[in-house]
Structure 1
């Protein structure tokens, strides 16, 4: 089927909204005789009037040809060989057009794709992408948009539609199911019925995906303040029950009792914070996600066994959360930091039996996330967040007393280096006093006999003979 080509006067994309470095890459490849398009989510966001986060380029040049064209190019990846072209802090990701790999004739029915470096045409590259809204190309030469899969109509209808048979595409790469949830929640789109039913049918396939990829996608769900809607969709499609069954059971318990889970309020306040301040802090994201479910589990444990309540809160949270964090491939340092942030919430509850230093508490490295989580909790409870102002004042005082930079602290603590001793090379005699005396002309005129020390060769050690085993007569 021939592609639909939309001329400049029929689409809203302007070169003024494209990053200059992306234009530089495309024009550079075109001058070398290659085809180069702006591809992926950047084209989708420009059509929707949003500011793209990344500008990706697709071309028929191979990674090695791209590297020859740009000296600031680095090739990365195994499953996907990509060219990263660096312009200072900006990276333009440039990929070669690919096609779907041929199925393995000797396979066991598992469609999961481990390698995908089969190069192809622009049309084949569009057909191998995940969703129609992400398969649009922008041609810088004629300023036109190229649509091979009907992505423009799905953008107008606000639909997330899988390219090809979703039952096959989700088995090829199960992470696409989380991506469908992410795009639907972020853009406010609906998941098309055939695509949605395929997720319901194959949600268990997500356990075959690499845990680090899944963990990265979970963090991306909260970008642009869309976390609450994303977790709702994960729960509705069954993906949450596979990835975080503890949270799914918490929601099931609330729904069985016909009450609105307080978790949605926590995630809603987190979304407000991300929209207002920007940035993604994984420690704060997962601390907010786990706080309400873990509190209920701790209360149930204390009701069954009074000894549990006497244990330190940090220890109880560690026992609960460590297996979960290992399962989702959360880094160990991030896990420890998140547990500390959650355990610190008890410090805000006044307890006359326990005394602690407020200045020491505020000076902790985890205090910014601790205070942010407490602020979210206050907003969920409907309390005034102005109660946090004394903590903010104390925090500013302590930060003002800290040194300007860590480098000055390291320089001050650095010990002076010892002077290096001059080493004599092997085979070169070290001058001694007797040699120096002989070289003196005054000594030679005096006619004194000077003994010269000479280095002797090492003595050869004689090998001892083994005693004869013959009997003596």
Structure 2
């Protein structure tokens, strides 16, 4: 009760109290390194055209943050005073998307997209006394001005604007200083912010690991107080964040941060309880060791799908399949053991089937294959073989099982064992040096199918 009363009268309970610079601090080009030449030229075209139509427009968010850090942004996002309807009228090559956040995609040649959003204001409930738990954002289409838009963003480092007209950085929330100090700081009241959008807690851990920043002490305390709010988050958004994390090559560091804040236990209690993550340092835990090995493989351009990472998170639930100690129906054992975690993560049915096949296949890797069903040439042609094998290899490396590691070397992997998702990932990678220019990653046979490579042993995977 006292905390709620204090919150109503605290500085962060007003818009001005949330802003380090209520009138906006402009950092001109003499004091930073950002230049128009560094920017995406199509994004600048969008901004210039909006400006010509009388709409204030800036670059915002991660692209400004990354450029200030000397990194090359993946995306350049634009924010403007124009409404989505006005943006659509200005750009015929555009479409509106989103329910909760109405934004416009301006589409250029080759399918390239520049995302344009309208300045938004803080939700009405932000400053209403008496609110208890009803902070979660359901709709967010109240338009506002730049300082309101900055205040409603997740972290100070993501709330900085760049004005290409005079190459100035505009900061309302102290994000420029936090970038220089390498700090992840929530904007305003941490309790309200994390109740509005619990996924922000996961993103704080992600940014800290990816940028090598520290989470601000006040923000960290807010995460620990509100960690169970993550269970109210949209499962679709959580899955999206998981998949982004798996592709970073730093999943170990991110999940280590999630473990230290208590978020990992709140997000995946079944997997947490089945592992030893709560009983030892995360780096020495079963989950930590597996993720660390997977990150190294990804860094070496091994082909790991998101479903492999998902299996690495929850495989302690079915640990008996790796030791061959399952009694009775192995399929039913795996299905029942992984069901709660799959439901919590809202894993789609087709991915659950893939996980099921990956887990029940683990015992096959320990045998050279006396029966026709488990013969290597038959097993290797299964669509789930590649993912099942990579799971087996990472698991055996994580427990330093020399006998199983030797057995892993028995298995040769050809492209036919890879599902379409893996081949899609592979095609995005630049070719390795020893690849034939015309051969790629396996040629085509006369019938149009993939031709397995010869002499590609498991330890090369």
TM-score after normalising by structure 2: 0.78
What secondary structure is seen at the aligned counterpart in 2 of 1:392?
coil
Q: Distance in 2 between matches of 1:404 and 1:298?
A: 36
TM-superposed CA distance for 1:295, in Å, is: 0.5
Contact 2:321–2:362 (CA under 8 A) maintained in structure 1: no
Q: Paired residue for 1:309?
A: 327
Deviation sequence 1:378-413 (CA, Å, 0-9, x none) = 54337679964861358599974473279xxxxxxx
Contact 2:321–2:363 (CA under 8 A) maintained in structure 1: no
TM-superposed CA distance for 1:144, in Å, is: 1.5
Does residue 403 in structure 1 map to residue 447 in structure 2? Answer: yes
What secondary structure is seen at the aligned counterpart in 1 of 2:361?
helix
TM-superposed CA distance for 1:359, in Å, is: 2.7
Does residue 28 in structure 1 map to residue 63 in structure 2? Answer: no
What secondary structure is seen at the aligned counterpart in 1 of 2:58?
strand
TM-superposed CA distance for 1:217, in Å, is: 1.8
- Greater relative contact order (Cα < 8 A, sep 6+): 2
Q: How does 1:145-164 map to 2 (within 5 A)?
A: 145-164=169-188
Q: Distance in 1 between matches of 2:296 and 2:244?
A: 16
Return the match for 2:389 from 361, 371, 377: 371
Q: Distance in 1 between matches of 2:164 and 2:303?
A: 31
Deviates more, 1:157-166 or 1:330-339: 330-339
What secondary structure is seen at the aligned counterpart in 1 of 2:95?
strand
| Backbone CA RMSD of aligned residues | 3.0
Q: Distance in 1 between matches of 2:393 and 2:319?
A: 17
Deviates more, 1:289-298 or 1:314-323: 289-298
Q: Paired residue for 1:357?
A: 375
Q: How does 1:277-296 map to 2 (within 5 A)?
A: 277=301, 281-295=305-319
Q: Paired residue for 1:13?
A: 34
Return the match for 1:72 from 93, 102, 107: 93
Q: Paired residue for 1:92?
A: 114
CA distance change for structure 1 residues 22 and 348 in 2, over 3 Å: closer, same or farther?
A: same
Q: Distance in 1 between matches of 2:287 and 2:169?
A: 42
Contact 1:182–1:230 (CA under 8 A) maintained in structure 2: yes
Contact 1:225–1:275 (CA under 8 A) maintained in structure 2: yes
CA distance change for structure 1 residues 162 and 375 in 2, over 3 Å: closer, same or farther?
A: same
Q: Paired residue for 1:4?
A: 25
Q: Distance in 2 between matches of 1:257 and 1:76?
A: 43
Deviates more, 1:277-286 or 1:379-388: 379-388
Deviates more, 1:101-110 or 1:362-371: 101-110
TM-score after normalising by structure 1: 0.77
Q: Paired residue for 1:47?
A: 68
What is the aligned length? Answer: 399
CA distance change for structure 1 residues 393 and 284 in 2, over 3 Å: closer, same or farther?
A: closer
TM-superposed CA distance for 1:37, in Å, is: 0.8
Deviates more, 1:97-106 or 1:181-190: 97-106
Deviation sequence 1:112-164 (CA, Å, 0-9, x none) = 12111111111110111010000011111111111111111111111100000
What secondary structure is seen at the aligned counterpart in 2 of 1:65?
helix
Highest Rg: 1 or 2? 1
Identify unmatched segments of 5+ residues in structure 1: 303-307, 407-473
Q: Distance in 2 between matches of 1:31 and 1:145?
A: 20
Q: Distance in 1 between matches of 2:118 and 2:303?
A: 31
